[in-house]
Each structure stands twice: as C-alpha cells, then as structure tokens.
Structure 1
Amino acid sequence: MTITTGAQVPRAERLRGGFQRRLLLIFGMQLVAVVVVCLMGYYNVAPAVAVVLLIVIVSGLTWLATERIWRQVSALARWVGDWKEGQTDLDALQSDRLRQTDSDIATLARGFHNFASRIAGYNERERNFTRDASHELRSPLTVIKMSTDMLSDEAGMSEFGKRSVQRIRRATREMESLVEALLILAREADNGQSEQEFVVNDVLRDELANAREMLHGHPIELRLEEPAKFALHGSPRVFAVLCWQLIRHASQYTGQGVVQVTVLPGMVSVSAVAGGEQVPHAAGQRGFEYAIAQRISERFAWPLSLHVQGGNRYVAEIRFPKPMPVSA
C-alpha cells in the first residue's frame, strides 16, 4: 500500500470509500446468501449436504474478503510498530507496499505522519536547547567562578569586599546546581552514560559539605544521620541535585534551625524544625525547589512525599524501589 498525504488523499477517499461501509457490504452479502441457502434447504430445492456446503463456502469467501481489507490495517500496525523515533517518512518503515489504499487507512497514515513529524521537531528543539543552554549558561558561570577565585586572592581587600566575593561565589554555585537540574529535566531521557553504582551515604556527605558552604551566613545547621547504608544504580549527580533541592526547600521552610538528612533502609529523609520563634512557611507553599525535586523524582521513579508534623516539623522522604547492599 502506498500511503499518501496531501492532495492525493481526497482522490483515494473518492475511489475506495469508507472502511466501515465495506465491512457492512461484505457481511450484508453474507447474510443474504445464508438466508437464500437456508430457504433453498427449507423448500427442498437443495439437499441438506449441499446447503451446509454452500454455507461453508459463503463463510469462507466472507473471511477472505474481510482478511483482504484487514490486511491494510495490519500493514499500518506493523509500520507503527517498526517506527523509530526521529523517522518521519512512513515509506522507510516498511519495504512491502500494499497496492490499494482505503480512505480510513489513508487518514490514519496521514495522522501518524504528522505525529512523527511533530515528534522529530520536538526532539530537534530539545537537542538544540540542551546543547546551547549547556554551553551558553555554563561558560559564563565558569568565568564568574574564576574571577571570584582571583578576587579572593587579592591583597588588601576590605572585609566588605571579601563578603561580597563569598556571596557571589555561593550564588554562582546555586546557579550551577539550578542549571544542571533544569538540563536534567529538559532532556527526554538519560542516555545511561552517567549511570553507575554509587553509595548513597558517600554522595550525601559530599553534598552536605557543599550545602554548608552555600548556606554559609544563614542560621541553618545541617546534620547527617546514617542508621542505614545502601547503594543505588543510577546517576550520582542527579541524586545529589535532588537532595540539594530538598535541602534548599527545607532551609527556606524553616528559616532558621536544624535541617537533618537521615539515611534509612531504602529511603532518604530531609527534615527541618523551625528554631526559636521562627514561624515556618505554610505547608501549601512548596516553592520552586520542591517542584524541581518532584519532577526529578518522577523522571527517575524515586517516589517523593512531603508532610508537616506537629505544625513546625518539615519532613520530605525519597523512597528508592531497588536499593542495593553496599559491597565490602
């Protein structure tokens, strides 16, 4: 079957008619033939053996006619099953072509062709965005980091200047983490190149060290408790970004006090208790950080839940369906 689009589709519609009408015609003719044969047998025009034989022949012809029409549907189904992401030409998906085109099949083929073209366009825009964003955003951040390192080594800098450099450095690291999280979410799928087996506890220790530096100057104390230890197969950077977003959200929720990260069997929890008379934000105000963390958890099938206990205790829990024991 040569499936066409554009100006040739209306001509096929005029020539072939609807798929439903053709099936109705076939089964209508079968019904008429069976009724005629039964009447012939009832009035002894034909013997019973001939009546049964005629019914079998009519049924067989009906099956052949139906199978010939359904062959076009099967061919299109094979085309769709063989389609690979990025292909837009349906002729490239199947070497055998059916010789006739039904209007309904042509409509399905045209719709699938448009869908495949749109998917290819989405993929191209995704690749362009991730490539451009990765270069155009990370390059200025690298320049800012190098400049702040050079400024911090300047002799005779005032205390105000040193504090300003530290703030710029922390803001740059937060921006790097945010860009990395957005790029993770912008990609359609992980290609597996960054996946490896890693120990959750080790990644959390490194991430909390970075978090303490970025939260320097804030009345936030970060703690890590490790009653359990396990490993995961995946991207350690994605896991670190997810935990950092939850730590940021917990810090903004409590304002001041203790943010505690706890490693439990197959689960990591981030909890925060408001210190002093600090009034925590409302539980419904989940913020941008939690939205990013939730999208990352959905992408990598790491269920995330958030609830507030006692009115001032924030608890976020990440569960990992396939934790692995830590090898010696």
Structure 2
Amino acid sequence: MASRPKRLKSRIRDVFLLQGIIAVVLVLIGTVVGSQMLAAGLLRDRIRNESDRMWELVQRDPAKPLPNGFGYQAWFVPAGKQPDAVPPQLRVTSPGFHRDADGSSMIYVGEHAEGRLYLRVEPVFATNLVRWVSIFAATLSLIAIATLSWLGHRRFRRMMAPLERLSHAAERWRPESTAPPGLTESSTIHEPLDEVERLRHALIDMTSRMDAFVRRERDFTRDASHELRTPLTVIRMAGDLLQHEEGLDARGTRAVRRIQEQSQQMEGLIDAFLLLARDPRLPIDVTETSLAEVVESEIEHTRPRLEGKPVAMRLQVNACPVVDAPLRLPGVVLGHLLQNACDFTERGEVAVTIDMDRIEIRDTGVGMDAATLSRVFEPFFRADVATESRGLGLNVVRRLVERMGWTVTLDSKPGVGTTAILRFA
C-alpha cells in the first residue's frame, strides 16, 4: 500500500527541525574545539606571566627558594649546580613548553645565564573558567537558535495558513456543487500574498470551467438519451409492424428480425456510452439481472454469425448467478465478447461456461500472440488479422466492466484460441 504523501506544513517543520539539529551540533562542536583552544591559550599566558615573575625573583635573590602558589610549582637550578630538588621526571625536560606524562599539567622549562627555571602549572583554574564560559556561550547560542527557529516556523505557519484554507476549500469542492466560500472569498485579507491570490483566482477559474463542463455533460446526457432513443423506438415499432405484415417472405422476415436485433443493440450501446460519460462518483441505476438469461439471449443474437462455418456453439450452465447491474449493460458486454469469439473462429467451437462468480467464453479461433494480447485493451487497437470485428472496442468493454465493479481478462495463444473470463463476484 502506497504511503500517504507528507503535507507541505510537515515538510517545512521537518526542515526547521533538521536545521535546528545541524545548528546545535555545530554549536556543540564549536564549543568543544573553542574551549580547548581557549584553555590552551589561557594556560600558556599564565605560564608566561608566572615565568616572568619567577625570573624577577631569581634576579633579586638567586639563593632564595621560589614560592609555590595555587595550581603551580617552581624550581630554580643555578648554573653549574645539580637539579637535586627538581622532580626526576622534570630533570631531563628540554627548554620550552611540554605536557607531563599523564597530560594533567603543563611544564615550562626556561634557561638563562643565571640557571634553569622549572615551572609546572595545573590547568585547574583555566579549565574551570573555560568550562563555565563555554557552557554559558553554548546555552546562549542554543537559546538563540531555538528562538529564531520558533519565530521562523511561526512565520512560515502564518504564510502557510492561506494555502491550507485554499487546500481545504478545494477538497470540499464537488463538480455537482458551486465553489465553496474558501475559494470565492479572499483568504489573505490580513497579509496579501500575490502567489496565493493568483492560485485562488486560478482555482476559481478552474471550478467555473468544471461547473460548465458538468452542466454540458448533464445536458448532453439528457438530450442524447431523448434524441437518440426516439428514432430507435420508431424503428423498432416499425419493425414490429413489418413482422406481422402478411405476405412477408423468409428473406424479409430475416431482415426485419435483423432490424429489431440491431435496434436493441443500439439501445444497449447508447446506455453504455451514456454511463461512461457520467461522473463515476455519481450513483447508477441497477436492477436484478439473471446472467444465465442474458447469455442465452446473446447466444441467440450472435448465432447467425456462425452460419456457413463449421463452428459449434456450446453452453454449459453450472450456476445461475443474479447480479445488480444496469439494465442492458451485461448484454452489451457479453454480446461483444461472443461476437469477437464468433468472428475470429473459422472452425471448432465457441464454448460458454457459467459459474456462480464468472462467465468463461472460450473459442478455437486464430488466437493472439503476447504482443497483440498486451495491447487489445488499448483504445482503437485492432489485431492485424484478415477477420476484423466491427463491434464495440475491448477498451470500452473493460471500462464498462470496471464501471460495474467487475473484471475481464483474456488468455490467448496463436492457432489455439482465446479465452475471455468475466468475473463479477
């Protein structure tokens, strides 16, 4: 089952959420990297300041031990003397800035003419300062991002409101009704948007044209139903009168019967095309129809097509299904399938089987290859064979079947024949 498309409002919300997540990640990464760089810079500045102060103390009194303070320790070794008071791990350290073995403190070794200065500084103060500054900066950044995202999302929601109103109005519109108020009235009075207004006017124009189309369709259906049926009724009544005319020979009787059959077939075709011309959402008039009786009637109508051919017409009734369908349409569909079977069969048989949920029409005609079979339901398509059916197209047959909620399938092999299956349950 296909998933329902996401609404534009949800997509915009997702975009804002994604932007917020990306911004938060970038802020956190920037905070971590910046805090490390800031801590290292502060620590180096403190070491430089402390080393300058220690050298001043050494110059005043080289023999006096250097003081230790909060977070740092200092040792001075006069030139030419052994660094016995210096911790062993610092004695081998070369001049410059270093990290101790466990990375917990920064070591500075400075060398002047007076001797060598060892300074070890614990980064506690700098680390704590940077941590709180980073937390404060990150918090302000996150608050700013959240505020801007909320304001932007609110702004977009206000911009989307007219589109949502137009969307709801378009969903409520039906071809048989007038345009809803959401289309005929401006949806952007408080904040005009040119694009939304143009869309609204385009929808109003579309609904007007659709209303006109529906009216034309209704007028055509009414007029066609009357104007086409009237001459057919006259023809059928004239045929009935001719049938009872005295002195009519066998040839004339067959001609009159042919006129009556074609008149009935034309009435069915009119009903079929009028049904297809109507809006599929509108209800259709149905009546209980015995499909076995319809099949028997259509077999009698199509049997003359087999005259002069060594083809047998067989009927097997396994059930007598009764369905709700428009009055003449089952006969139109079954009649066309039977006509095709008779027209494309030169020898053998046309077998009709009636079951409770389907009707199967099998012939031993010329059949069709896979390429032809894949196109038989296309509009105006005809198989490239010597015999051509002049009845209703299979495309229209399938549309009628689907309109009634049924299905029709074909199975065919060249030189073997074709099987049409009409499923109605």
Q: What TM-score results when the alignment is normalised by the length of structure 1? A: 0.70
For each residue in 1:57-81, what CA deviation from the matched residue of structure 2 results, as whole angstroms up to 9, or x when unmatched?
A: 4333223222211112211111112
Residue 139 of structure 1 aligns to a residue whose secondary structure is helix
Residue 269 of structure 1 aligns to a residue whose secondary structure is strand
Partner of 1:313: 417
Higher relative contact order (CA 8 A, sep 6+): 1
Query: CA 1:230–1:281 in 2, change beyond 3 Å: closer, same or farther?
Result: closer
Query: CA 1:60–1:243 in 2, change beyond 3 Å: closer, same or farther?
Result: same
Partner of 2:265: 174
For each residue in 1:153-184, what CA deviation from the matched residue of structure 2 results, as whole angstroms up to 9, or x when unmatched?
A: 12123343333322322222222222222222
Measured in 1, the distance between the counterparts of 2:187 and 2:301 equals 64
Shift of 1:265: 5.0
- 2:230 is equivalent to residue 139 of structure 1: yes
Task: Tell me, yes or no, if the aligned pair for 2:306 and 2:342 is still in contact at 8 Å.
Answer: no
Measured in 2, the distance between the counterparts of 1:192 and 1:155 equals 47
Partner of 1:205: 293
Partner of 1:223: 314
- Amino acid aligned to 1:146: M
Q: Which of 126-135 and 110-119 deviates more?
A: 110-119
Give the counterpart of 1:295 among 399, 404, 407. Answer: 399
Give me the CA root mean square deviation: 3.7
Task: Tell me, yes or no, if the aligned pair for 1:141 and 1:172 is still in contact at 8 Å.
Answer: yes
Q: What TM-score results when the alignment is normalised by the length of structure 2? A: 0.56
Query: CA 1:236–1:221 in 2, change beyond 3 Å: closer, same or farther?
Result: farther
Shift of 1:143: 0.7
Structure 2 unaligned runs (5+)?
1-11, 39-132, 373-381, 384-388
Q: Note the 1:177-256 alignment, pairs <5 A.
A: 177-189=268-280, 191-196=282-287, 198=289, 202-213=290-301, 215-216=303-304, 218-219=306-307, 221-235=312-326, 237-254=328-345
Query: CA 1:67–1:153 in 2, change beyond 3 Å: closer, same or farther?
Result: same
Bigger helix fraction = 1
Partner of 1:64: 154
For each residue in 1:129-164, what CA deviation from the matched residue of structure 2 results, as whole angstroms up to 9, or x when unmatched?
A: 221111111111111111111111121233433333
- Amino acid aligned to 2:293: R
Residue 316 of structure 1 aligns to a residue whose secondary structure is strand
Partner of 1:272: 363
Task: Tell me, yes or no, if the aligned pair for 1:297 and 1:303 is still in contact at 8 Å.
Answer: yes
Shift of 1:246: 1.0
Residue 156 of structure 1 aligns to a residue whose secondary structure is coil
Query: CA 1:295–1:111 in 2, change beyond 3 Å: closer, same or farther?
Result: same
Query: CA 1:210–1:159 in 2, change beyond 3 Å: closer, same or farther?
Result: same
Shift of 1:316: 0.9
Residue 254 of structure 1 aligns to a residue whose secondary structure is coil
Measured in 2, the distance between the counterparts of 1:125 and 1:256 equals 48
Query: CA 1:319–1:159 in 2, change beyond 3 Å: closer, same or farther?
Result: closer
Partner of 1:8: none
Shift of 1:101: 2.7
Shift of 1:315: 1.2
Partner of 1:121: 212
Instruction: Give percent identity, aligned residues only.
Output: 26
Measured in 2, the distance between the counterparts of 1:268 and 1:130 equals 31
